[in-house]
Structures are given as structure tokens and as C-alpha cells.
Amino acid sequence: MPPQNTHGYITDSTLSLLEESILLSYRHAFHAGNFADVLKHSVLYFVLEYMQQKDKGLTYIDTHAGAGMYRLNEDYAQKTGEYKQGIEPLMGLNELPKILIPYIQWIKEINTSQSLNLYPGSSAIAKHLFRYQDSAHLFELHPSDNQLLRKFTQSAKNTFIHQADGYKGLLSLLPPPSRRGVVLIDPPYEIKSDYKIAVKTMIESYQKFSTGTYILWYPVVDRKHVERMIKDFANSNVKNLLQIEFCRQTDSYSFGMTGTGLFIINPPWQLNEYAQKLLPFLSQKLGDSESFHTLTQLKEE
């Protein structure tokens, strides 16, 4: 049993008490189904389905796995209402870009009533799509979300839940025995060092397993953090790196998260084409008049 402090929270010598209390106060349930989740989860859904076109087993590693399924009709989501500017407005639309169709269709199936009460997170997507030959490692440090995740995945085969640091955990698992892997790095960024550590971990992971597909999520809160991430990637030996970004509003320090993006190493070849349709659609449906989006091949193959 790893060491725990009085909160029952895993202690980690690299975390200060302040950092631990920041981590404890973050619950993804506040943000579930927001515009950033829509981009991240629709791309994850597409990537996993694409990788499953081959029969050989796939290993999925989620370094920041969250709780699995989120209830939008409960206090957390109701308090912020973020899903109302994210998944909710898309649910009733008949015309969707191709990449959104299976993801939205599945969310409709989960919500058996007319109202949108359940929103699936990254681990729920993996659980839904997984075949008997696939396996998953899900890291979640928060004790309550870890418990929820365990409960949610208890019937899932070949699924391993870790209450441990996802960055270190990821590096310890690479390369996966199957040599086919999808990695999601989805930190909360409540602690600013996440920007640096997430990129560093992705680059180190690539060095251990260069054929894996890696998805790193980031928020646009302060543009200089994103520029720094791009610079760190530019100075690395990573190849085939795509950046997808959707900003609901123009960059600003005063509005919190104005945009969201993904860095993807070794994306499926169709993703670029699909994102060209998805991004203007999200701008039109979820953005304001200054909304913008970018799709950039940061590193060639």
C-alpha cells in the first residue's frame, strides 16, 4: 500500500501540501461535457475506433482518468453549467461532422430518457469500445474519483486502476507488450507545472515507444503556456505531431479558459481531414463572434 496522508491521499515527495490541496479540490464533474471535453472525447473516440480496425490487442493508458461517468443532473455539473455550452447544444442537431456522429449517437443511447443526464468521460469511452483482446491502465490520484472509477469499471476485463501518479505510471508501462498503444494525458493544469511535466512526459514516452499514439489535452487560459509547450516539442525528437485547437473566444486573461487544444503524436491519417470539418462546426455552434480554430502539423512524419 503506497503511503497516504491524513486525507487518505497518496503522498508523493514531489508534491507540496499546497499542491496536494489544489489537487484534492479539483473534480472533473464540475467541467464534464464542456466544450473542451467535446473536442477531447470526440477525438479520443475516433482514435480508439480507428486503432481497433486491426484485430491485434490494443493497450490504452489514461494518465489522468477521472471518475468514468459523470452525472450532469447533480450538484457539480449544475453548479457551473459548463455542459450547456458544450455537449448539450449539439445533442439535438441532425447534421453533424462525421467524427461527431458515433460519439453523439452513443451519448444519446446512454441517456435513455429525453434529458441529458449522463456524460461519459475518457475511461467510459475506453470501457465502451474495448474488445476482449484490449487492456487499459487508468491512473487517478483523487481518492473519491478513484473509488468512483473502480466501481464504474469493476466488470471491465483487463482494466487496471491505479491510485498513483499518472506521469510516472505511464513511463513505467512503456512499451506495452502489445506494441499497439493509445495514451491520453489529460491533466487538470490547476498546478502550473503540469504544462511542463505533461510535455516532458510525452516526449520521454515517445523515446520509449515511438509508434504509440499520444493525445495531450491543454486549456487556453494564458497563451504563453501553450507557446512554451510548442517550443518544448520543437526542441525534441518527436515526429508526426498534430496540434488541433478550438477557441470559443479571443485570447484573454480575464475569461478563464477561452479555448482548448490537443497535441497528438502519430494521429490516424484521417484525423486531419476530419478535424478540418469539426473545427469550423464547433466555432459556429459553440463559439462567439471572435471564435477561431487552428490545425497545425507541428512536426512532420
Ligand X SMILES: C[S@@+](CC[C@H](N)C(=O)[O-])C[C@H]1O[C@@H](n2cnc3c(N)ncnc32)[C@H](O)[C@@H]1O
- Asked whether position 137 contacts ligand X by CB under 6 A, the answer is no
The three three-digit cell numbers of residue 30, written as one number: 464540475
Which member of 20, 82, 88, 145 binds ligand X (CB under 6 A)? 145
Measured distance between the N- and C-terminal CA atoms of the chain, rounded to whole angstroms: 42
Q: What is the grid cell recorded at 120? A: 461519459
Site size with ligand X, rule: CB under 6 A: 20
Within 10 Å of residue 177's Cβ, how many Cβ atoms? 10
Long-range Cβ pairs for the range 284-288 (8 Å, 24+): 285/89, 285/90, 285/93, 286/35, 286/38, 286/85, 286/86, 286/89, 286/90, 286/246, 286/248, 287/246, 287/247, 287/248, 287/249, 288/248, 288/249
Q: Does 82 bind ligand X (CB under 6 A)?
A: no
**Closer Cβ to ligand X, 133 or 197, answer by number:** 197
Question: Shortest gap between Cβ of 68 and ligand X (angstroms)?
Answer: 7
- As a whole number of angstroms, the distance between CA 53 and CA 81 comes to 36
Are the beta carbons of 282 and 35 closer than 8 angstroms?
A: yes
165 carries an active-site annotation = no
55 vs 1: CA distance, rounded Å: 36
Q: Which stretch binds ligand X (CB under 6 A): 101-109, 185-193, 208-216, 267-275?
A: 185-193
Among 43, 186, 195, 206, binds ligand X (CB under 6 A): 186
**Binding residue for ligand X (CB under 6 A) from 137, 142, 248, 293?**
142
121 near ligand X (CB under 6 A)? yes
Instruction: Figure out which of the listed residues 188, 222, 232, 236 binds ligand X, where binding follows CB under 6 A.
Output: 188
Closest listed residue to residue 87, CA positions, set 74, 100, 69: 100
Complex with ligand X: residue 86 or 121, whichever CB lies closer: 121
> Which positions from 14 through 73 interact with ligand X, judged by CB under 6 A?
23, 26, 28, 62, 64-66
CA distance 101 to 203: 32
Q: Which of 37, 134, 165, 186 is catalytic?
A: 186
CB of 28 to ligand X, least distance (A): 4
Ramachandran angles phi, psi of 142, nearest 5°: -65, 125
DSSP H/E element including 88:
helix 88-91
Binding mask 147-176 for ligand X (x = CB under 6 A): ------------------xxx---------
Quick one: 86 or 166, whose CB is closer to ligand X? 166
Q: Which is nearer to ligand X, 41 or 248 (CB)?
A: 41
86 sits near ligand X (criterion: CB under 6 A):
no
Contacts of 214 (CB under 8 A, 6+ apart): 182, 183, 185, 202, 205, 206, 263, 264, 265, 266
Q: Give the active site residues.
A: 186
Binding site for ligand X (CB under 6 A): 23, 26, 28, 62, 64-66, 121-122, 139-142, 145, 165-167, 186-188
